[in-house]
Amino acid sequence: MKDSDQITAGLNEEQKEAVTAPRQNILVLAGAGTGKTRVLVSRIAYLVERCGVDANRILAVTFTNKAAREMRDRLALILGEHSSRRLWAYTFHTASSHILRNFAAEAGLTRNFTIIDTADQLSVVKKVMEELKLPAEVWVNNVKYNARNYLQKIMDEKARGNRPGMEGESILPSFYDVYAQYQNRCDKSDQADFEELILRTCELIENQPRVRQYIRMKFQEILVDEFQDTNSLQYRWLKLISGAENLDPEKKPANVLIVGDDDQSIYGWRGAAAENMFYFQKEFAPVKMIKLVQNYRSTKAILSNANSLIKNNTRHLAEKNLITHNPDATMVKLLESYDNNDEAEEIAKTIRKLVDNLGRDPSDIAVLYRTNAQSRLIEKELVAYGIEYNIYGGARFYDREEVKNALAYLRLIINPEDNISFSRIVNVPSRKIGKVTLSKIEALHHEFGVSMFRAAEMYVTKNKSRPLKDFIALIKGFAARLEEIPGKSEDIAAFLKSVITDSGLRDYYQEKTAKEEADRSIDRTGNLDELISDIANRDYLEVEDQGIEAQGMAEPESDEEDDADNSDNKYSLRDFIQIYLASAALMPSSELLKSEENHAVNLMTIHCSKGLEFGAVIIAGFEQGLLPLERYSSFEKEDERLEEERRLAYVAITRAKELLFLSYAQTRMSYYGTYNTGASSFVEELDHNCLDTDLDFLDA
């Protein structure tokens, strides 16, 4: 057992207080760069080593898969591999998917349910709108809405905990009919979207006392990172998981520690509510608050500007002023340009000097911007100056056509009720299954209320369609092999390779790649190989969480002998594939950063930069109309919108460790013409004692 001094070594007094506090509800108000991840990891280690809490009874909730992996990796170094493997360290969505899979019957699902991503959700909405004879584009009050707007509204309703019919009004015509039909299609296909994972978990715990009892016995300590980014549904989820909802008054709730910073709340547009931190103080009372203000990331000049800016917001959970002992460096620099073309060139020239004259690694440089549209001119100039770059938060690897099709095969093999995957791959590669045949299958699907795959099986019993029979046999053959192949993680890559080859996907994309030879950026077979490599190297720690239901709702045991037998062969190949498919669906594009591998400059929106840090940061378009974004001026509660924009600028500034450039143009050209902009009003709120325009240091 490690001494508590070993666990807290190197921590400052406030961090130590958070790590060693008695087991209770705690709110850690952690400013940017104050070492919150280290505090979370050390707190978990302290609970295990000094308080005797079984790691299997601890739930650590993060907002990104990357953060969860980092937490487990750090804990493995402190506690060892055994304890770190027992810890539940997941995102809200991943933790929910594990709970639902373990209690699938009670949740109205099967263990084989699939998670659908945004693209698949959109295809369902479009089909529903067609069936309801709604036009693809709907005009309301001279504003155009389409399937994406309907989908966003559905997700908004779920994020508020609303089912079809629970709320009665929407400006979108027939919205609740679309919502009801959308959900009906997902339920029949044994599928869940992102918000459904959390909402259905909440309903499961609320409606199933035995499940609620198990969850309460399972988790004694819960830690939540980035709490300011939680929405109302996630807050409800936490209350239910912890027992704070008080549905079983005789049972003691779990202890909950939340970490957050209301000054970094930048996702209000998607439902995040920093107010949840206020609610937590009240509804989880008594709550101990601990503030972390010592910043380990940035220079004094950068922090002085950040503090000066954010103090202009009026809504704060508690006052805090970030401090640092980092040595002084250069001032924060203002870059002024005539227009956005000049700005893009100035940014490229600055990066060229940072690399050539100051020896900066390109991967340690980031260009941040408020809107994606700003990147086009910057990319053009980076190419002109011979600077490699990667766009962080761009298209997902898993959304590429060939990758999505390969995953659709796996999804249909696992879950034959998956109508989206059936429709996607039944003719990929082409099997010459005609539209007439597919329409008849669709008719059987609707008439008998069965899946498209089952409808296809019904069709071939009375109709001659050799290609369709072969496709059905192919899928069923792969499904049978899942039961034959021993459940070892290394077998999953071989299985996927076989699926890609035997289905004809590899040959199909080799031919397609040859036809697209003029576009060297497309390497479809290479992407399939990358997918095989990805599935082989995936961390399958979660497989150990797949069998908790087997304990028959009894109190979770802490059996060392049982844990020692947690070898791969206890699990089926199906278990591993389910985990991989879930992780692929839940992996956002904002986590796919590869610039460190090829020494390229990072380009991203400010929202995507949250949680990252770079030696040198250039904020492009630090000007009126962009930051704060002009369109917000038409909204009600403009002061609240302005405060969120100020928090966004604060987040951007605090991504910088040593060098920070604020770039703006006097005029900006767009599709609608040229208009005057100039420096952002936020510039006036900065610390002008730590701000200048001198760039001579770049020519050193």
Whether 264 is a known active-site residue: answer yes
Burial of 560 per CB tally in 10 Å (0-12, 13-18, 19+): exposed
Whether 225 is a known active-site residue: answer yes
Which is the catalytic residue, given 320, 655, 657, 668?
655
Enter the tokens of residue 611: 């949680």
Q: What angle do CA 148, 151, 152 make, to 5 degrees?
A: 85
Alpha helices, H only, 521-672:
524-537, 560-564, 573-586, 595-598, 606-609, 638-653
Enter the tokens of residue 462: 């009375």
Place of tokens 């870059």: 335
SS3 627: coil
Which is the catalytic residue, given 14, 16, 17, 36?
36
CA proximity to 256, closest of 67, 45, 61:
61
Distance CA 346, CA 334 (A): 12
Burial of 52 per CB tally in 10 Å (0-12, 13-18, 19+): exposed
Place of tokens 């095969």: 409
CA proximity to 259, closest of 307, 211, 221, 224:
224
> Going by C-beta distance under 8 Å and a sequence separation of 6 or more, which residues neighbour residue 570?
487, 547
8 A C-beta contact, residue 235 and residue 277: no
Sequential DSSP letters for 507-549? HHHHHHHHHTTT-TT--HHHHHHHHHHHHHH---GGGGGTTGG
Q: Are strands 221-224 and 255-260 parallel, antiparallel or unpaired?
A: parallel
Whether 597 is a known active-site residue: answer no
8 A C-beta contact, residue 341 and residue 670: no
Whether 156 is a known active-site residue: answer no
Tell me if the bond preceding 362 is cis, omega within 30° of 0. no
Which is the catalytic residue, given 121, 183, 264, 624?
264
Which is the catalytic residue, given 17, 157, 193, 225?
225
Long-range contacts of 494-499 (CB under 8 A, 24+ apart): 495/573, 495/577, 496/406, 496/410, 496/531, 496/532, 496/535, 497/532, 499/406, 499/409, 499/410, 499/413
8 A C-beta contact, residue 389 and residue 620: no
Which is the catalytic residue, given 14, 226, 261, 534?
226
Which is the catalytic residue, given 20, 23, 37, 294?
37
CB atoms inside a 10 Å sphere around CB 76: 15
Long-range contacts of 8-16 (CB under 8 A, 24+ apart): 8/42, 8/46, 11/35, 11/38, 11/39, 11/42, 12/294, 14/290, 14/291, 14/292, 14/293, 14/294, 15/39, 15/42, 15/292
Distance CA 588, CA 607 (A): 13
Residues that are catalytic: 36-37, 225-226, 264, 655
